[in-house]
Amino acid sequence: MSAPLTRDSPYPARLRAYLGERFPLAGHGLLIASYYSSNQFLAEVLTRPLEPLRYDRTTLLGAATLLLFFFHLRVFDEHKDFAEDRVHHPERVLQRGILTLADLRRLGAAAIALEAVLAAAAGRAAFLAWLAAFAFSLLMLREFFAGAWLKRRLLLYAASHMLVMPLLAAMVFSFATGRLFWRAPGWFWLYSFVGFFVSFNWEISRKIRSPEEERDGVLTYTRLLGTYGAAWAVLAVRLVDTALVMGVARHLGLGAWFYWALLALYSVCLVGFADYRWRTRPGSARRMEWYAGMYIVAFDLLLAVELVRLHGLEVAW
């Protein structure tokens, strides 16, 4: 049995413990692969419809930039929430001092620097798109200079932060096409807001609690919207996602199986809702987050697979 981690434990072991707890690389890697692929393929289909889809050097640069971007958002969140998490989650690696905020500042700075280098290597358009998303992340760090006001309005707080998702989709567009992000087609911008809504769906889902789990001082959507109101809100947001994607699918002429797959995915999520609604307990509440994570990955993966089926895929690293 390995010895418990302390501040004096080897740095790689402490970093692995933190990442495993707060930024699992396998899970984020799967998320990046599905999200990046769907947005890249859509960008390519909309801008050069007669050519096959491509995985190439810019795909690697862009996917790595996106992974690093999500990591620096995690670092920003840790700094914003540290005092509150020390009260409500004293067991975490960061709150126990095994890894410190100073450690995370250095890691975050390194991630941001590497993002800038990778984006610059992909060209001017990619760098400008990254810069726009990065600037927005700084506003998120400062909570748009209205943190106290926003935190009293939990839904608005979440929505304001999830607006980074269309900017990240725009960044993928510029990496994939070499075009300035503000010149992306309207249909691409429409799909970029699918990322906003699926992230909003996940944000609500991860803060659903059964009544016995509610704790004073901890904001949850079940406390705000009611024990089942938050779960109904998740279903409503998923309907918006599905409608948006079906609109894009119709424009692209996707196959009938794609629509049936979307409905099947929604039906699977209904199982999680029913489990929570009629067996309300900590386990079923936690599974709402699991269903939301599965939904995010599957939603993008379905579009990526269908576009590859229709247009083919070339790999040229």
Q: In the prediction, which pLDDT does 316 show?
A: 84
The CA distances from residue 214 to 30, 67, 87, 204, in Å, are 31, 32, 15, 15
Q: Band of the pLDDT at 299, cuts 50, 70, 90?
A: confident
Architecture of domain 185-310: Up-down Bundle (1.20)
Q: pLDDT higher for 88 or 133?
A: 133
Could you read off the pLDDT of 97-110 as tens digits, one per residue? Answer: 999 999 999 999 99
Mean pLDDT of 109-120: 98
Percent of residues, the chain, with pLDDT higher than 90? 89
Q: In the prediction, which pLDDT does 302 show?
A: 95
- Taking the alpha carbons at both ends of the chain, their separation in whole angstroms is 43
Q: In the prediction, which pLDDT does 256 show?
A: 94
Q: Would the pLDDT of 1 be above 60? A: no
Domains of the chain: which residue ranges?
13-150+168-177, 185-310
Quick check: pTM over 0.85? yes
Q: For the chain, what is the mean pLDDT?
A: 94
Sequence-ordered strand ranges (E) for 8-126: 53-56
Percent of residues, the chain, with pLDDT higher than 70? 99
CB atoms within 10 A of CB 292: 24
CB atoms within 10 A of CB 252: 19
Indicate the CATH number of 13-150+168-177 among 3.30.160, 1.25.40, 1.20.1260, 1.10.357: 1.10.357
Structure token digits, residue 253: 């002429």
